[in-house]
Structure formats: C-alpha cells, structure tokens
C-alpha cells in the first residue's frame, strides 16, 4: 500500500487560485480539509491504538447498571469490540492496575463520541470522510504555474475536491498519483461538470516528476 499520495490543483487564473487559497489555506499554512468538510470538535482527541483498553478503564468506574448499558450501547457499533472492553476491564481490575485519570477520561470521551458521532476520534472520522489518515501536508502555492500542490497519507481526495468545487464554484483540474505511480488520475471540475480524464503512467511521471523528486 502506498504511504503517500501527491496532489496538484491547476487553475485558469491567479484570481481563481487566490480564491481557493483564501478559502482553504489559512495563515499561509497547509491546505486545510476542514474548510471543505470540518471535523466535529468533539472528535479532536488523542488517537491511541488501545482504545478498547481506555474504554475498559472508564467501564471500571461505572456501577453495574451503567456498565451493562455501556456494553449494550456498543454492541453493534464499529471501531470497538465489547468483548475486548470487558476483557481489558477485568484484567485491569484483577491486577489492580492503577489507571491514570487522563486515560479514564479518554475512554469516556471515546465512548461518548462513538455514541454521538459514530467515531471515537478524528483519525477514524478522517478515514471515512476524507479518505485519508489526516489533513494535507507539504502544501506549495505556485503563483507562476497557477497551482496548489499538497500530499496526503495513503489516498487521493477526489470526493473532497468535488465538494470544494461545489462549494466555491471555482474551476480547476485535480491531478494525483500515489508514490508508486500505480494509482493515479485526473479530474476536471468546471462549468461543464465533473469528469475524469484518461491518462497513462508516462503522463503521470512527467507531471509529478518535480513533486516526487525528493
């Protein structure tokens, strides 16, 4: 699986370029996908690989009735496993593991986020809504070429770029490739609609030669 996807937005004029810069690049920083589809504030919490253990820590602070309610509420939810939660909670209780208050609070937050938003944190939400593990990085605005380039983790962001065009009405061409030149594409967004172009590997390597040189 590719680790990085490189993207380029190409514009017709500096005016169009500046409109997108003003819309999606705040304070001269990276292209911000939150300007297109914002992460709910509640999900902006630490992502850890042992979320079930954290929820298990919170579980141990509840009375029997609330414990039963938590398990029932999470029974059919994604991003968590009730058996793991119970096992983790039992292990912590048996070994009398001293759990930091911060981890209990985090477990509570994961639980509440899953119930309200369907996701424990920003990482899982971004995977589902942005098709990438996080926000854009390595943003470059090229006034001369009328381009904005950026990188993302794992995947291209075609749906986000469609939403960008639908929200701003600014025409552009979106080009992308993964770091192995095996998944690539070009999408045009303008007055004629949103459509994909047929391209080949040589074209992609020519377009992204400078971007991937490092």
pLDDT by residue for the chain (214 residues), tens only, comes to 458 999 999 999 999 999 999 999 977 789 999 999 999 999 999 888 889 999 999 999 999 999 999 999 999 998 899 999 999 999 988 766 556 788 899 999 999 999 999 999 999 999 999 999 889 999 999 999 999 999 998 789 999 999 999 999 999 999 999 988 888 999 999 999 999 998 887 888 888 876 655 5
Q: Is residue 213 part of a domain?
A: no
Domain, as residue range, for 88: 42-125
What are the CA-CA distances from residue 56 to residues 40, 46, 69, 77 (Å)?
24, 17, 13, 15
* CA dist., res. 46 & res. 74, Å (int): 20
Domain final residue, candidates 82, 105, 125: 125
Q: What is the pTM of this model?
A: 0.83
Clarify whether residues 106 and 162 are in a common domain: no
Residues 6 or more apart whose CB falls under 8 angstroms from that of 24 comprise 31, 32, 33, 35, 36, 164
* CA dist., res. 150 & res. 30, Å (int): 8
Clarify whether residues 87 and 149 are in a common domain: no
Q: Is residue 183 part of a domain?
A: yes
Report how many domains make up the chain: 2
- DSSP conformational letter for 151: E
Say if CB 119 and CB 83 are below 8 A apart. Answer: no
Clarify whether residues 64 and 19 are in a common domain: no
């Amino acid at each position: 699986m590719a680790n990085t996807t490189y993207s380029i937005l190409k514009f017709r004029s500096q005016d169009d370029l500046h409109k997108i810069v003003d819309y999606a690049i705040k304070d001269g920083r990276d292209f911000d996908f939150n300007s297109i589809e914002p992460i709910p504030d509640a999900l902006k919490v630490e992502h850890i690989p042992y979320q079930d253990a954290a929820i298990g820590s919170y579980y141990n602070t509840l009375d029997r009735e609330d414990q039963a309610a938590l398990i029932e509420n999470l029974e059919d939810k994604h991003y968590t496993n009730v058996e793991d939660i119970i096992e983790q909670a039992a292990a912590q209780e048996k070994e009398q593991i001293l759990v930091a208050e911060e981890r209990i609070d985090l477990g509570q937050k994961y639980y509440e986020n899953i119930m309200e938003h369907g996701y424990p944190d920003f990482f899982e939400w971004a995977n589902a809504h942005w098709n990438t593990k996080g926000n854009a990085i390595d943003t470059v605005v090229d006034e001369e070429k009328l381009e904005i380039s950026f990188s993302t983790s794992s995947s291209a962001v075609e749906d986000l770029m469609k939403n960008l065009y639908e929200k701003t009405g600014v025409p552009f061409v979106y080009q992308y490739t993964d770091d192995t030149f095996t998944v690539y594409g070009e999408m045009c967004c303008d007055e004629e609609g949103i459509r994909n172009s047929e391209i080949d590997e040589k074209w992609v390597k020519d377009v992204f030669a400078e971007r991937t040189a490092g």
